Amino acid sequence: MSIPILQAKEISVVFGGLRAVSDFNLTLMEGELVGLIGPNGAGKTTVFNLLTGVTPLSSGEIAIRSSKDGKAHSTKGMKAHQIARLGLGRTFQNIRLFKSLTVLDNLRISMDHLRRTTIADAILRTRRFTAEEEAFTSRSVELLKIFELDDKKDLLARNLPYGEQRKLEIARALATDPKLLLLDEPAAGMNPQETKDLMRLIAFVRERFQLTILLIEHDMSLVMNLCERIAVLDYGQEIAMGTPAEISRNPAVIKAYLGEEEI
Amino acid sequence: MKKKGVDFLLLLGSGLLVYCLIASLAWVGVIDEYYMQLLSVAGVYIIVALSLNLITGFTGQLALGHAGFMSIGAYTAAIFVMRASLPLLPSVLLGGLVSAVFGFAIGFPTLRLRGDYLAITTLGFGEIIRVVLNNLEGLTGGSAGLQGIPSFSDTGNYTLDAIIKFSWIFAFFVATVATISNLIRSSPGRVIVSVREDEIASTSMGNDVTRYKMIAFTVSAFFAGIGGGLFSALIGYLNPSDFNFLYSVNFVVIAVLGGLGSLTGTVLGGLVFTFAQEWLRVLGDFRLVVFGLLLILLMIFWQSGIMGNKELSITGLVRRIFRKGGRAQ
Amino acid sequence: MVFLQQLVNGISLGSVYSLIAIGYTMVYGIVKLINFAHGDILMIGAFCGYYAFLWAQGSASPVLAVAFAFLLAMAISALVGVIIEKTCYKPLRNAPRINALITAIGVSIVLENGARVIPFMGPNPRQVSIPEAFKGVFALGGLTISKVQVLTLATSLVLMVVLTAFVQLTRTGKAMRAVSHDMDAAQLMGISVNRIVSITFAIGAALGGAAGVLYAMNFPMINPYMGIMPGLKAFIAAVFGGIGSIPGAMIGGLVMGVAETLTKGFISSKLADAVAFGILIVILLVRPSGLLGKSAREKV
């Protein structure tokens, strides 16, 4: 439990003169569930984009322990898809499913990096190809069962209700076979009951796939209950880090959320 | 497994049926040589439009220079046949390969760009090819064109010739449809479509998006080149000025008319387009005016084309009829 | 000296490209449409100018007749531009972009072939007669510069200065910049987007019409297809300068003009067109957003 799976050292990014994230540090130990909170516009999603390589770093360094060889790799110079292949899955705050594809295809697309057959196999429909397709399909259906989406596997993603689209995003991230999962406001827009179910689901997949999870969430009670550690971001800087109990007492956090009282 | 085998036989059977029907109608004279030639031309257009649909409809990258790839294939095939006395089949395939090499070379630097830039680059490429073909007089005959390209068949019997030409085109058409549709309905094909849907999401799922765009673009260039090679043997005459920007636009029109992201749509679109163009000839000088107006009206009032992004499924159709029959019993 | 002479010729030609490129870049900046019919507006402007001059030269001095030709060409071009926008592009503003693009190509086909069948326009090319007052050259040392070139440079310069002042200093200009930055936000701020789009098309087409008259004076032959090549080159100029950027289009046009005359003068006139597209591809590889363009970031 005590090996770091992700280490971000003093990462920063500048957008046209604005330091959106400034010298942010984060270490995730294997198996942890860490929350990343902060007021609107604090730079939480930007941190996700930096960690996943969607946005290039201006400075700093990120190392991720690969799920394949168990070694820590610096993500310097890596493209987003290469970082993802180290075993890093993610969801998006504004759902980004492959909307006009089926639920099943949304998952199977995440497995292509595991493909061993060639394009020639696909065109000639070889036996190897069919076997692999079936393997991908059955693995996808298994995952969908966990999220109770298996009976909707042939629906187009855009036709799912909102809550199920959020769940499908998580399932799709899991289909890449990650060890580290970044969830960007997975419960956004859900009602309290749905949120509760989702949290149970997250806890379940965490156990089942032995995941390390970093989670952005607005619902404070949820973060406080679920996470073992919490990092608080404000104006692109980390203002606090600690257990939920520590965070809820931290004056800097209270100030960031409630604003300074004027006397 | 068994279901798939049945599907395959069904498709093969319906393909053969269509072919035999057309060939025998031509043999007895119901379809005359003129219409056979038109069907063959439509076949070539469909092959090129299918290749365009792969990159524009399925991968979501607008390409405006497919006439360029087509002309590379056409000239390569014609030159190999005429100057190296190579048989037609390898020449046509070589045309496709050379075109694919060009596709790779152009796609490599440009496919990482976003938005309309691929459209602009391919447009520029198409124009450059045209200028180069015009200036390579020793090889291509320059602006005078390349004449006397051997045909698929020259038996002297016009009906037989027309049927043989059509058979060539039909065989390549079937191969193109089979290859592209098998590619699309496979794991790499799904990734190609995911690029159209959401590039960032696809990258974040571990997919090398640029590589898949490259694959789609190279395959697309290959089939456009094949279409060109067939065109050279079908028409027997090539001129660089035929492969201009508007010619590229024709294929975009076919793909959009049929429905971007639908292979069967492209087939229907290609047939409608070729025949409409031919029938509009009665309008004389007004033909292109009417064509342009029709194009504008279609784009405004019929945005998703004939098929949208759905496929017309022969197997699905047969199964539905079969199921209905079963239920009735 | 030959080089300097070619440079002068290039800048003169380039200023015409700049005028056309501004139309492309403004329209693209606002509705994200490559307006393929823009080159044909040039053709319409040229024909309007041609007939306006023929009509006016009997009763007015040549200078006034030319001025009248410019004004009428710009007015009719602007009108045509707005009509095209209202009837063909507006219904497609929320449609897939490829539909709008094909529509633009359709408009282009209609304009070119429509002009071909209209008796007083096509299909045969018409010779443009340059009035005596505009014939002749100025000699500056070893350089010669024709009166038409001086007129071309002066007209382009004046139009570009007026346009820049309009976009930078007037309320409408500010609204145009706002719409180009974010159409939805501009709408929420109470800007009438439809009006701004129409004004943009009108201005772009008016400049294209003026460019048509200038082009016809420099290459005194007009025909229904005359707009295609300068249109494509001006479009490349707009991409070169960074599509959406007006100063970029101006610079891009000049670069294209100079590159073209230098190629014609020193390499081969046949390759001039290929060089234009070669420049395009090189710029896209080296700096995809163009000289002055901003690279757009997608929000994740």
Question: Is A65 in the B-facing interface, judged by CB distances under 8 Å?
Answer: no
**Residue A103: pLDDT band with limits 50, 70, 90:** very high
Domain ranges of chain C: 20-225
ipTM, two decimals, is 0.92
- Is the confidence at residue B329, as pLDDT, over 70? no
pLDDT at B314: 73
Q: How confident is the model at residue C182 (pLDDT cuts 50, 70, 90)?
A: confident
**B120 → closest Cβ in C96, C109, C280:** C280
**pLDDT bracket for residue A15 (50, 70, 90):** confident
Contacts of A173 in chain B (CB under 8 A): 205
CB A59 within 8 A of CB A151: no
List residues of A whose CB lies inside 8 A of any C CB: 15, 45, 49, 54-55, 92
Query: Structural domain boundaries of chain A?
Result: 4-101+177-258
The residue in chain C having the minimum alpha-carbon distance to the alpha carbon of residue A55 is C300
Smallest CA–CA distance, residue B163 to chain A, in Å, is 28
Per-residue model confidence as pLDDT tens digits over C77-108: 999 999 999 999 999 988 888 888 889 999 99
User: Given a cut of 60, is residue C55 above it in pLDDT?
Assistant: yes
Chosen CATH of A4-101+177-258 out of 3.40.50.300, 3.40.120.10, 1.10.580.10, 3.40.50.720 = 3.40.50.300
What residues in B contact C112, CB-CB < 8 Å? 288
The pLDDT tens digits of the residues spanning A218-256 come to 877 778 888 999 999 998 889 999 999 998 888 888 888
Our CA-based measurement puts residue B243 at a distance from the nearest CA of chain A, in whole angstroms, of 30
Model confidence at B325, pLDDT cuts 50, 70, 90, reads: low
Secondary-structure percent of chain C, ordered helix, strand, coil, rounded to 5: 75, 5, 20
Q: Is the pTM of this model over 0.95?
A: no
CA distance B210 to chain A (A): 10
Which of B246, B296, B297, B302 has the highest number of chain C CBs within 10 A, making it the mutation to test binding with C? Answer: B296
In DSSP terms, A11 is beta-bridged to A24
* Separation CA C109–CA B322 (nearest Å): 48
Please judge whether C88 and B296 are an interchain contact, meaning their C-beta atoms are less than 8 angstroms apart.
yes
Among C251, C235, C269, smallest CA distance to B64 is for C235
Q: With contact defined as beta carbons under 8 Å apart, do C291 and C253 qualify?
A: no
Q: Which amino acid does the sequence have at A2? A: S
Q: Give the whole-angstrom CA distance, residue C114 versus residue B287.
A: 10
Give the residue-averaged pLDDT of A201-214.
Answer: 94
Residues 6+ apart with CB under 8 A from A206: A33, A213
Cβ-in-10-Å burial (0-12, 13-18, 19+) of A242 comes to middle
Q: Which of C112, C232, C284 sits opposite B110 (nearest CB)?
A: C284
Distance from CA of B217 to the nearest CA of C (A): 17
pLDDT band of C298, cuts 50, 70, 90: low
The pLDDT assigned to B318 comes to 74
User: Distance of CA B208 to CAs A80, A91, B199, Å?
Assistant: 9, 18, 10
Residues of A in contact with C300 (CB under 8 A): 45, 49, 54-55, 92
Q: Identify which of A193-202, B273-282, C69-78 has the greatest average pLDDT.
A: C69-78
Cβ within 8 Å of residue B252, ≥6 positions away? B52, B56, B62, B63, B64, B66, C98, C102
Could you write out the DSSP letters of every residue in A115-142?
A: --S-HHHHHHT-HHHHHHHHHHHHHHHH
Work out the average pLDDT over B32-56.
96
Question: What local confidence, expressed as pLDDT, does residue C119 receive?
Answer: 85
What chains are in contact with B, requiring at least 3 Cβ pairs below 8 Å? A, C
Backbone angles phi, psi at C144, to 5 degrees: -120, 140
C300 touching A (Cβ < 8 Å): yes
Mutate to test the interface with B, among C36, C86, C99, C300 (most CBs of B within 10 A): C99
Of A143, A147, A141, A157, the closest CA to residue A186 belongs to: A147
C55-62 contacts at long range (C-beta below 8 A, 24 or more positions apart):
C57/C131, C61/C133, C62/C131, C62/C132, C62/C133, C62/C134
Which is more confidently placed, C265 or B70?
B70
Among the listed residues C175, C164, C181, C170, the one whose alpha carbon sits nearest the alpha carbon of residue C248:
C164
A123–B209: do the CB atoms touch at under 8 Å? no
